[in-house]
Amino acid sequence: MELTRGISRRAVLSWIGKTAGAAAMYQAMTTLGFASESTFDKDHYELSGAPTGSTVLVLGAGLAGMTAAFELQKAGYKVKILEYNEKAGGRCWTIRGGDKYTELGGATQECKFDEGLYINPGPWRIPYHHHAVLHYCKQFDVKLEVFNQINHNAYVHSTKAFDGKPKRYREVYADFQGHIAELLAKCVNQKGLDEAMTREETERLLLVMREWGALNGDDKYVKSIEASLTRGFDIEPGGGLMPKEQYSQPMDRGELFNSSLWKHLSTGNLFEYQSTIFQPIGGMDMIAKGFEKEVGNLIRYSSKVTKIHQDDKGVTVSYVDSKNPGDTMTESADWCVCTIPLSILGQIPANFSSKLTSAIRAVPYDTGVKVGLQFKRRFWEEDDHIYGGITYTDMPIEMISYPSTDYHSSGKGVLLAGYLWDENAYEFTSMSPEMRIKKTLEYGAKIHPQYLDEFDNGIAVAWHRVPWTNGCYGLWTPESRKEHYQNLCEIDNRVVLAGEHASYIPAWMEGAILSSLDAIKRLHEYAVAEKKQKA
């Protein structure tokens, strides 16, 4: 079937994929009926009828581990959880004033944020299509609020363009769209599409370009009322005898195209970041606390696993107190759900199969750094009129995220003032926490000059120095998934793995929960079948 005369669906999808990437192509395929959104069906994962007296040991009280414990206990299993930290949640972690954190290497930070202010070093957003996370939020009465991903009044910034001065997102969005529309309108007027489109389609396309790109009556994208209604005014319309409105001047097309600022415009179109996005009120660890209310009595905290041994009858795990190591203790069960990050699990002696052992060792962990800064006042709102959303930059800090809550609050406020990946994160990880904060202030001041005068205190988490993960998330490649993913997820005698690393949604809470639900469903079926076979 043809979209228009001479242009096939396959050609359009190919063009979208080459120019806008896989995410955009997937969305186009969804619209055209070639792909569909995956769904979470809670009824599919309901377990019941555990074999009488069956026991399960869960390693790790992150979201994957607590999901497993919650559902297995409901099904009738006797469950116990061993957790390295003094509290549950794992990477579902929120840092507030008074919290202390010691990273690998011994550097200790104490958060000095004011009461009610916080930073989420790990997950910080919940997409609307992460149905499993939202299901448990509702079940555990975790209150949510909207997370503002895209703010047209935030900035996009390049040190190499426009003399290093930040531009408003709306200005770049409007000007890029307008210049593209003008170029396309010229092609239409020059009858360059005659072979592909009918005359009526050409006229409609020209009308679309005028509306979409805010072109004037001459099909030009210039300083005009049409452009200013999108990109903003130099002097906004007022009332009474206020100064007369003044239209704004679009950026030069060539300089804009060369700036690469436009590459940030597609962020809100990506499937993961499309509205509506949520965050728990009060911090991401409210989700962990919701689980902990249900399964906290099953958790032994401050338990560092030192050995995992399995045989045909069950699993025995050795561990020590992670805060005060002393005598080795053991815990045994019929089955084990292991949610320990692979970066840690690979260091623990275990008699797994050679296939599982190879899979564990095949997955490195990506790096990441988050820096939270508290300021004396919310200058981004008071001075710059930015309420939520994200500013993007080519400086090492990469982005600044403004709080999507407590708008117009008096007093202090906290910014996620840097979220770093790849080489930038490795560079910051090598620094002391104090130096990370200092560099974040220096970079941020190039966008917000208020930084240096208004700074109060900060905290910086480098994930390769987090003792219980040694990294941010499991970093798969297409090749490693093809060779090892199946082996990683299969039940290995008495043990099954779960966590974001055992999913196709790495780094997201949804991946952790879905992997756990899938793992325990298969483990339950395996346990029931074994019981019947022995009966």
* Per-residue confidence (pLDDT) for residue 11, from 0 to 100: 45
Per residue in 68-82, pLDDT (tens digit) is 999 999 999 999 999
Instruction: Report how far residue 522's alpha carbon sits from residue 428's, in angstroms, rounded to the nearest whole number.
Output: 41
Instruction: Report how far residue 440's alpha carbon sits from residue 323's, in angstroms, rounded to the nearest whole number.
Output: 32
Q: What is the CATH number of domain 95-153+275-283+366-465?
A: 3.90.660.10
**Fold that domain 42-85+298-363+478-534 belongs to in CATH:** FAD/NAD(P)-binding domain (3.50.50)
* Per-residue confidence (pLDDT) for residue 392, from 0 to 100: 97
Instruction: Report how far residue 466's alpha carbon sits from residue 474's, in angstroms, rounded to the nearest whole number.
Output: 14
Domain locations along the chain: 1-36, 42-85+298-363+478-534, 95-153+275-283+366-465, 167-259
Question: Phi and psi (nearest 5°) for 108?
Answer: -115, 135
> What helix, strand, coil percent values describe the chain, rounded to 5?
40, 20, 40
Residue 475: helix, strand or coil by DSSP? Answer: coil
Cβ neighbour number for residue 191 with a 10 Å cutoff: 11
Q: Name all contacts of 224-228 with Cβ < 8 Å and 24+ positions apart.
A: 227/174, 227/175, 227/178
Half-sphere exposure of 435 (CA within 13 A, CB side): 8
Question: Phi and psi (nearest 5°) for 454?
Answer: -100, -5
Token reading at 501: 């690393």
Token reading at 405: 């809550």
Containing H/E element for 395?
A: none
Token reading at 462: 């480098």
Instruction: Report how far residue 66's alpha carbon sits from residue 502's, in angstroms, rounded to the nearest whole number.
Output: 16
Tell me the sheet residues that pair with 399.
392
Q: 253: buried, middle or exposed (CB in 10 Å: 19+, 13-18, 0-12)?
A: middle
**Residues of the chain scoring pLDDT < 50:** 1-38
Instruction: Report how far residue 372's alpha carbon sits from residue 115's, in angstroms, rounded to the nearest whole number.
Output: 15
Instruction: Report how far residue 372's alpha carbon sits from residue 122's, in angstroms, rounded to the nearest whole number.
Output: 12
* Per-residue confidence (pLDDT) for residue 196, from 0 to 100: 67
What length does the chain have?
535
DSSP assignment, residue 377?
S
Tell me the three-class secondary structure of 247-311, residue by residue.
ECCCCCHHHHHHHCHHHHCCHHHCHHHCCCEEEECCCCHHHHHHHHHHHHHHEECCEEEEEEEEC
Which residues 6+ apart lie within 8 Å of 390 measured at CB?
149, 150, 151, 154, 267, 399, 400, 401, 402
* Per-residue confidence (pLDDT) for residue 192, from 0 to 100: 58
Instruction: Report how far residue 59's alpha carbon sits from residue 519's, in angstroms, rounded to the nearest whole number.
Output: 14
Q: What is the CATH number of domain 167-259?
A: 1.20.1440.240
Q: 535: buried, middle or exposed (CB in 10 Å: 19+, 13-18, 0-12)?
A: exposed
* Per-residue confidence (pLDDT) for residue 191, from 0 to 100: 64
Residue from 154, 412, 114 nearest 261 by CA: 154
* Per-residue confidence (pLDDT) for residue 16, from 0 to 100: 46
Q: Give Cα 254 to chain centroid, integer Å.
A: 33
Instruction: Report how far residue 476's alpha carbon sits from residue 365's, in angstroms, rounded to the nearest whole number.
Output: 9
Q: Are 154 and 387 in contact (CB under 8 A)?
A: no
Q: Which amino acid is at 471?
A: G
Residue 402: helix, strand or coil by DSSP? Answer: coil
Residue 92: helix, strand or coil by DSSP? Answer: coil
Cβ neighbour number for residue 350 with a 10 Å cutoff: 20
Instruction: Report how far residue 520's alpha carbon sits from residue 532's, in angstroms, rounded to the nearest whole number.
Output: 18
Cβ neighbour number for residue 223 with a 10 Å cutoff: 16
Cβ neighbour number for residue 78 with a 10 Å cutoff: 15
Residue from 359, 161, 398 nearest 257 by CA: 161
Cβ neighbour number for residue 38 with a 10 Å cutoff: 11
Q: Which amino acid is at 530?
A: E
